[in-house]
Amino acid sequence: MILPKKTAKVDQELSLDQRRAYMQLPPEERWKHLATQAAQMVEHYTQGPERTERIAWQGGDIVEP
């Protein structure tokens, strides 16, 4: 198994009270936060040498004999 070499940057550690307050937000507000986090993770996973290595061994056309 290959373990990740880098981890995503965390802006802040949230306390239990902050987490509970987040869960009290309306769904639309939580979705906005999640969309922002998702965009950050897309950026994290699409950069770096790991992506080019993965494309090298995963990419290409399927050739059947």
* Global confidence as pTM: 0.53
Angstrom distance (rounded) from CA 44 to CA 38: 10
Angstrom distance (rounded) from CA 61 to CA 15: 48
Q: Per residue of the chain (65 residues), give pLDDT as tens.
A: 565 566 666 667 888 999 999 999 999 999 999 999 899 888 877 887 777 777 777 776 777 76
Q: Residue 21: its pLDDT value, please?
A: 93
With beta carbons less than 8 A apart as the criterion, state whether 8 and 44 touch. Answer: yes
